[in-house]
Copies of this chain bind each other. A is one copy, B any other.
Amino acid sequence: MSEQNTTTRLDLFIDRMVSQRACLDAAITQTAGRSEPVFELGLGNGRTFHHMRERIRDRDVYVFERAVASHPDSTPAEHLTILGDVRETLPAARTRFPAGASLIHADLGGHNREKNDTFARMISPLIEPLLAIDGLMVSSDRMYFDTLAEQPLPEGAVPGRCFIYRRTA
């Protein structure tokens, strides 16, 4: 028999990818037509970057990454790559992008939930000031914002696998 009681790593992984896509697509649509750029925090293999680049034609997508190691067909142009540790590059971005970002996607973590949570707590105050008013932030981990409001998830997103926040004022 195929035992269906437990959730496997494959199940969790699929849930995360599916949720990520649902949240990103919804956030992209909701911020369509804006001029402020999109920030992708963490490049990895480049799958979500590839997705963002294909789906977003009205704004620049900047990638913040410490070491570019993505697939050749999912590598951002050099002028759209911000190399370095986000702990330094995010504060620097406030000066470079005074109008902020219309959409910020963060997928910086690994599979260690405790480590991810600690990192989320540290990085939330660095991300918050970068979001333009009515801008959206999509994360695979729960964030710790002061003023950004958690949004309901779109259809297809699994609760707990992806989070959306909005800057209302």
Give A28 to B4 CA distance when docked, in angstroms: 11
Indicate which residue in B4, B9, B48 contacts A74 across the interface (CB closer than 8 Å): B9
Interface size class of A (residues with CB under 8 A): 20 to 34
The quantity of this chain's copies bound in the complex is: 2
A1-B32, A28-B2, A32-B1 given; A51·B21 CB < 8 A: no
Q: Determine the chain B residues whose CB is within 8 A of the CB of A18 once the complex forms.
A: 14, 18
Give A56 to B3 CA distance when docked, in angstroms: 7
Residue pair A14, B9 in contact (C-beta under 8 Å): no
Give A3 to B21 CA distance when docked, in angstroms: 13
Q: Determine the chain B residues whose CB is within 8 A of the CB of A8 once the complex forms.
A: 47, 50-51, 54-55
A79 CB-CB contact with B under 8 Å: no
Indicate which residue in B10, B48, B55, B73 contacts A51 across the interface (CB closer than 8 Å): B10
CB pairs A–B below 8 angstroms (13 shown): A1-B57, A1-B58, A3-B55, A3-B57, A8-B51, A9-B46, A9-B71, A10-B17, A10-B50, A10-B51, A11-B51, A14-B21, A71-B111
